[in-house]
Amino acid sequence: MSESKNITRRDAIKYIGATAIGTGLGLGSAAALNNMNSAFTNRKMKVLLVNGSPNKEGCTFTALSEIATTLNFNGIETEIFQVGKRPISGCIACGACSSEGRCFINDRVNEFLDIAGNYDGFVFGSPVHFAAMSGSMTSFMDRAFFCARASDIMAGRPAATIASCRRSGSTTTLDQLNKYPIHRGMPLVPSQYWPMVYGNRPEEVRQDSEGLQIMRTLAQNMAWMMQCIEAGRQAGIFYPEREPRVATNFIR
Ligand SMILES: Cc1cc2nc3c(=O)[nH]c(=O)nc-3n(C[C@H](O)[C@H](O)[C@H](O)COP(=O)(O)O)c2cc1C
């Protein structure tokens, strides 16, 4: 980051104008200038780590903590968001979120949506329950990401996913988890292997030295991606503006 090119506001406006003329697409100036403002703030970058386990400080938490420590080492602030033990309803398909950007059911999902815009990156972790994501994490992700379509608060921000299992089912769980960031335009963060840990208790996860190394590699890659995105923003490269959405259902 220290080597990234700092540009002046005048440079930025010149750049945006040149881009608009070059493409003939118009400025989209409000969004572009907002992004540009954040490049001038020198604020610390922040990652929100979502624990989809009912166990507040269990195995998933242990893996997320290893990621948080490595992110902190890279100068990135972290917070852990607990999906918690209380029941989380599935999506009732009412469609209210399309206009509100929030869910009709006021629970942890809305609490997450209220703060999500403050973070530059996300990690979504789940324990494996019956070779799949936990039930509450499935409901949480369905509703949070369906609501996020309206506000687009997470687009362009890197996301990582991790799974914790006793013995098997972690790759299917990761396949499930990965669907959400891909759908929302969030670049997926890679590691050196599938991002999973093994254990039934936190102390067992702490013995999974390969799993913990995979978590650290993932965190290093995430820090690198976030710094690249920030450096790009400072050089005038922004997340692309979307075309108006085309939705064709399979009835013609
Ligand atoms: C309802 C339930 C179903 C589970 N199903 C599986 C499973 O299919 N495969 C597996 O390896 N572990 C399974 N486990 C064990 C957990 O995935 C494992 O202990 C995990 O590391 C716990 O993470 P946590 O402490 O963050 O909750 C299951 C646990 C529960 C409570």
Tell me the residue ranges of DSSP E strands in 102-154: 121-129, 132-133
Closest residue (by CA) to atom 29 of ligand 1?
129
pLDDT tens digits, the chain, 252 residues: what are they? Answer: 333 344 444 443 343 333 333 333 333 333 333 343 344 446 799 999 999 999 999 999 999 999 999 999 999 999 999 999 999 999 999 999 998 899 999 999 999 999 999 999 999 999 999 999 999 999 999 999 999 998 889 999 999 999 999 999 999 999 999 999 999 999 999 999 999 999 999 999 999 999 999 999 999 999 999 999 999 999 999 999 989 988 888 876
> For ligand 1, is residue 103 a contact (CB within 6 Å)?
no
Q: How far is the CA of 128 from the centre of ligand 1 (A)?
A: 5
- Per-residue burial over 66-85, b if 16 or more Cβ lie within 10 Å, else e, is bbbebbeebebebebbbbbe
Q: d(Cα 158, Cα 235) in Å, to the nearest integer?
A: 19
The token pair that represents 81 in the structure block: 């968001």
Q: How many helices (H) and strands (E) does the chain have?
A: 9, 6
Residue 45: closest CA among 73, 66, 5, 75: 75
Amino acid in position 27: L
Q: How far is the CA of 63 from the centre of ligand 1 (A)?
A: 14
The token pair that represents 209 in the structure block: 């030295």
Ligand 1 pocket mutation pick from 166, 167, 201, 207 by most atoms within 8 angstroms of CB = 166
Q: How far is the CA of 53 from the centre of ligand 1 (A)?
A: 9
Give the other-Cβ count within 10 Å of 42's Cβ. 10
Q: Which domains, ranges and CATH numbers included, belong to the chain? A: 1-42 (no CATH), 45-226 (3.40.50.360)
